C-alpha cells in the first residue's frame, strides 16, 4: 500500500475486520489480509490475497483521503437552526438543595458549581418559557425542564410556570420533565403534577446502605433512603398509573460496592421493579477508588452480566434474568455503531468528527441569572459555555466555538479512525475560561477505546447470528 488507508483494524475471537472510515462500513477479512494491512506480515501476498485487495478497492474501500478542513456541517445553518428548532428549555429554578451528596459538584464546591441561595424569579422564568416558545416554531412538542439544586424547593414557582406555559402554548403540546432527589415528592405535589404531561426522574442509588453512604440530608447528615422510599410507596398507592408511566429512576453506582447488592435491589424492590425506565451510571473515577479490589471485582461482574445480556439477544439466555444494571449496554451497539453509520462513498473535504450537537437546539439550559448554556451538564462557572442570555439572545461566535470543537485538535481529528463515530463534545475540555487541547486529547483516547470495544461486541454478536436487519440498516460485509 503506497499510502496509509483510512481504516481501523480490529479482531474478535471469531474473525478479523476493518472499519472503513470513508464508507462507514465494517468489513470482515481473512487473517492473512488483516496481517498485511497491519504491516506485520513477512509473507509475500498470495494470489487470493491480491484478489481480496482488488475486490476491496473496487468496492470503494481502502481510500487514503482525509478531510482537508475541520468544520461542522451545521455551521452554515446555525442561525436558522436556533431561530425555530429549540426542543427543550431547562430552567435552573434554584441552586439550593436539601441534600448534600458526596459526589455532587455543588456539595464538594468544584469549579463547576457551588450551592447558593440563588433562585430564579418568576419574571426571569417566564422569560425562559417565552424564549422557548418563540424559538420552537418547527417543534411540535417542546419540553420545559425543571432543574436545581433541588427543584421541588420551588414548587410554587414550578406550578405557576406550568400554568403559564400551557396557557401560552398556542396550540402546541408542552411537555415537562424534572430531575429530583424525591424527598419532597409528596402526594400534594403529585395531586398537581398528574394533570400534566410530565416525566419525573428520581435519583435512587441502590439499597439503603449504599444510597445513604452518599446521599445525605443537609444539616443532619442522615441518609435519605427511608424518606424517598416512603414517598414512592405512598404515591404508588394513590397514583399507581402515574408512578408506573411518568416516574423514572436514575442510579449513580459506586463500584467499590458489590455488584450483586445493586442487582438484587433493582430486581427485588417491588416499589420500583415495574419502573418506566431505570438509568444507571457508574460513579466517576475522581469520586471513588477505581483501583481497589472491590472496584475490579465490580467491573468484572459487570462484563459477565453484559455477556448474559448479549446472549439474551440471541435467545440463548432468559431476558428476564438479565441484570437491569447493564440493560442499556446493548443499546450502545445499536445507537453508537449500527444506527450511527450511513452508507457513504467518501468523507467530504470539509467535515467534522461526529459527536457535538448544535448547542441550543436539542436543549438549552438557563441558570438562575438568565445565562444560556448548552445543557445542564457543563461547567456553569466557565465563560466558554455561556452561549447567550435570555434578554439578548444567542451568542453565535461562542456557539460556533463549541460546535467546532474538532478545530481544537484539527490535525489529530483529520487522521483519527473514529472520526465518523466520535462522541466527543466540549464538556470536560475546558480549562478555566478556555478550551484545552490536552484535556480533549485525553478524552479522545477514552472515546477510541470505547468505540473499539463496542465495535468488537457488535461483530461478535453478528458472528453468533444476531440479525441487525431488525433495525432497518445493515452494511456488514465479508470479503474473502
Give pLDDT, residue 411: 95
CA distance 168 to 113: 32
Length of the chain equals 480
Q: 318-331 pLDDT, tens per residue?
A: 999 999 999 889 99
Does residue 379 come out as left (phi exceeding 0), alpha (psi in the -120 to 50 range) or beta?
beta
pTM for this prediction? 0.92
Residues near 376 by beta carbon (within 8 Å), at least 6 away in sequence = 90, 92, 145, 147, 363, 365
pLDDT of res. 478? 59
From first CA to last CA, the distance across the chain in angstroms is 18
Q: Tens digits of per-residue pLDDT, 155-185?
A: 999 999 999 999 999 889 999 999 999 999 9
Q: Tell me the CA distances in angstroms from 394 to 124, 157, 212, 256, 361, one per residue in order.
A: 16, 25, 41, 43, 11
Cα 394 to Cα 291: distance, rounded to the nearest angstrom: 43
Q: Is the pLDDT of residue 146 over 80?
A: yes
**Is residue 288 classed as helix, strand or coil in its secondary structure?**
coil
Which residues fall within 8 angstroms of residue 351, CB to CB, at 6 or more apart?
A: 67, 69, 70, 71, 73, 419
Mean pLDDT, rounded, for 340-355 = 89
Beta bridge partners of 8: 19
Average pLDDT over residues 193-213: 96
Residue pLDDT, tens place only, 86-129: 999 999 999 999 999 988 876 555 555 566 889 999 999 999 99
CA distance 80 to 78: 5
Each domain of the chain, given as residue ranges in start order, spans 1-54
C-alpha cell at 335: 445507537
**Buried/exposed code over 278-310 (b: 16+ C-beta within 10 A; e: otherwise):** bebebbeeebbebeeeebeebeebbeebbebbb
394-433 pLDDT, tens digit per residue, is 999 999 999 999 999 999 999 999 999 999 999 989 998 9
The residue among 193 and 475 whose pLDDT is bigger is: 193
Amino acid at each position: 500500500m503506497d499510502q496509509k488507508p483510512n481504516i481501523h483494524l480490529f479482531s474478535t475471537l471469531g474473525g478479523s475486520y476493518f472499519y472503513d472510515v470513508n464508507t462507514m462500513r465494517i468489513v470482515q477479512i481473512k487473517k492473512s489480509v488483516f496481517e498485511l494491512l497491519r504491516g506485520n506480515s513477512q509473507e509475500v501476498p498470495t494470489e487470493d490475497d491480491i484478489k481480496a485487495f482488488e475486490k476491496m478497492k473496487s468496492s470503494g474501500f481502502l481510500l487514503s483521503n482525509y478531510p482537508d478542513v475541520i468544520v461542522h456541517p451545521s455551521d452554515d445553518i446555525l442561525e436558522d437552526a436556533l431561530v425555530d428548532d429549540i426542543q427543550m428549555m431547562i430552567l435552573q429554578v434554584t441552586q439550593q438543595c436539601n441534600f448534600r451528596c458526596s459526589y455532587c459538584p455543588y456539595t464538594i464546591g468544584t469549579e463547576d458549581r457551588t450551592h447558593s441561595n440563588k433562585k430564579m424569579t418568576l419574571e426571569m422564568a417566564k422569560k425562559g418559557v417565552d424564549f422557548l416558545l418563540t424559538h420552537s416554531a418547527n417543534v411540535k412538542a417542546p419540553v420545559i425542564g425543571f432543574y436545581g439544586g433541588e427543584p421541588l424547593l420551588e414548587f410554587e414557582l414550578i406550578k405557576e410556570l406550568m400554568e403559564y406555559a400551557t396557557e401560552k402554548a398556542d396550540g402546541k403540546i408542552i411537555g415537562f420533565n424534572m430531575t429530583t432527589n424525591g424527598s419532597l415528592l409528596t402526594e400534594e405535589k403529585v395531586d398537581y403534577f398528574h394533570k400534566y404531561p410530565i416525566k419525573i426522574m428520581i435519583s435512587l442509588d441502590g439499597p439503603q446502605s449504599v444510597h445513604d453512604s452518599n446521599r445525605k440530608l443537609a444539616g443532619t447528615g442522615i441518609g435519605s433512603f427511608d424518606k424517598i422510599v416512603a414517598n414512592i410507596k405512598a404515591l404508588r398507592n394513590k397514583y399507581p398509573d402515574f408512578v408506573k408511566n411518568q416516574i423514572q429512576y436514575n442510579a449513580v453506582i459506586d463500584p467499590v460496592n458489590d455488584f450483586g447488592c445493586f442487582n438484587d435491589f433493582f430486581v427485588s424492590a417491588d416499589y420500583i421493579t415495574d419502573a418506566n425506565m431505570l438509568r444507571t451510571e457508574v460513579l466517576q473515577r475522581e469520586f471513588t477508588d477505581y483501583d481497589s479490589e472491590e472496584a475490579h471485582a465490580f467491573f468484572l461482574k459487570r462484563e459477565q452480566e453484559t455477556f448474559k445480556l448479549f446472549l439474551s439477544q440471541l435467545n440463548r439466555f432468559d431476558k428476564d434474568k438479565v441484570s437491569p444494571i447493564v440493560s442499556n449496554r446493548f443499546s450502545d451497539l445499536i445507537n453508537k455503531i449500527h444506527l450511527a453509520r450511513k452508507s457513504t462513498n467518501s468523507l467530504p473535504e470539509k467535515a467534522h468528527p461526529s459527536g457535538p450537537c448544535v448547542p441550543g437546539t436539542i436543549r438549552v439550559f438557563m441558570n438562575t441569572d438568565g445565562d444560556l448554556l448548552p445543557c445542564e451538564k457543563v461547567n456553569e462557572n466557565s465563560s466558554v459555555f455561556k452561549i447567550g442570555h435570555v434578554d439578548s439572545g444567542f451568542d453565535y461566535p461562542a456557539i460556533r466555538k463549541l460546535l467546532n470543537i474538532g478545530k481544537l485538535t484539527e490535525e489529530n481529528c483529520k487522521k483519527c479512525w473514529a472520526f465518523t463515530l466520535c462522541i466527543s463534545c466540549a464538556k470536560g475540555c475546558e480549562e478555566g475560561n478556555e478550551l484545552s487541547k490536552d484535556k480533549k486529547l485525553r478524552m479522545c483516547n477514552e472515546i477510541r477505546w470505547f468505540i473499539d470495544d463496542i465495535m468488537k461486541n457488535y461483530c461478535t454478536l453478528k458472528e453468533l447470528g444476531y440479525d441487525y436487519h431488525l433495525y432497518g440498516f445493515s452494511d456488514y460485509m465479508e470479503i474473502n
